Amino acid sequence: MAQTLSRGSVSGTAVKPGGGKRKPFLVDLYSTAVGKKYVMAITGLLLMGFVVAHMVGNLKLFQGETDGVYALDVYAVWLKELLYPAAPKSAVLWVMRSGLIVAVLLHIHAAYGLTVINRKARSVKYQSARDYDVANFASRTMRWTGVIVLLFILWHLADFTFGWVNPDFVYGEVHRSVVASFDRVPVAIFYIVANIALGIHLFHGLWSMFQSMGWNNPRFNSWRRPLATAIATVVVVGNVSFPIAVLAGIVTHPAV
């Protein structure tokens, strides 16, 4: 008689000890270190794509104005009117923002979960301080740069989206708000430092993503470091150019 084969659980905990409903496959997978690494990699890739696209769009800051209209303000209006009139104004933009928020929360939760798993699994201490430093440099760097990037995101929203910490914020006038913000030296320095941390985070994240996704192959290893370096460098140089341009007087706004 043929036997019926059924899928076992990923973590060995999908079925409750006393019998009960099996966990959904994705939930069960996410409870493992492998699942969390996949989530870290996938959400990291999505967020990296957003960071690059966001930086490219903000380069319109250097186009200045034409007939009294700033290119960055036109770009902001275009974002709000994506798929309009098929969709209400700003609807697509808020869908994308919501997706990014979910991706950030999943990224943070997966990172925290992996940290807990790694600490529990580390039953034997490293033999020397050097071994500890080598084994944990990437993880400790990612942790702290991640915290800096999170604080940067919160400040960025308060500065340019809601205007809570921007002294000359005017809704819809993005160019003016950017100049008003970066005209403050402490804020400009914070943005520069935060974007350097972002670049380090992107470099290590892209590097480790290949291993998390099972792409750690000799054919890829020869170019994954140059790729990670190139993407991180482009993002840092592009984003850092904005506060430097305002401080240097290259980008201005008459109302500020």
DSSP assignment letter at 20: -
Q: What is the pLDDT of residue 9?
A: 52
Q: What is the pLDDT of residue 228?
A: 87
- Tell whether pTM > 0.85: no
Whole-number Å distance between alpha carbons of 25 and 120: 24
∠ CA 227-229-231, nearest 5°, is 70
Find where tokens 């008003």 sit.
180
Amino acid at 189: I
CATH architecture of 32-122+139-247: Up-down Bundle (1.20)
Whole-number Å distance between alpha carbons of 199 and 205: 10
Can you give the pLDDT of all 256 residues of the chain as single tens digits? 445 444 455 555 455 555 557 778 778 888 888 889 889 889 999 999 999 999 999 999 999 998 889 999 999 999 999 999 999 999 999 999 999 999 999 999 998 898 888 777 765 554 444 434 434 555 667 888 999 999 999 999 999 999 999 988 988 899 999 999 999 999 999 999 999 999 999 998 887 777 666 666 666 667 778 888 999 999 999 999 999 999 999 999 988 8
∠ CA 175-181-187, nearest 5°, is 145
Q: What is the pLDDT of residue 4?
A: 46
3-state secondary structure of 50: helix
Could you list the beta-strand ranges (E) of the chain: 65-66, 69-70
The strand pairing partners of 69, in sequence order, are 66
Say how far residue 139 (Cα) sits from the centre of its chain: 16
Contact between residue 82 and residue 89 where contact means Cβ atoms under 8 Å apart: no
Domain map of the chain by residue range?
32-122+139-247
Find the largest Cα–Cα distance for the chain: 85
Whole-number Å distance between alpha carbons of 186 and 9: 52
Whole-number Å distance between alpha carbons of 58 and 245: 13
Whole-number Å distance between alpha carbons of 241 and 63: 14
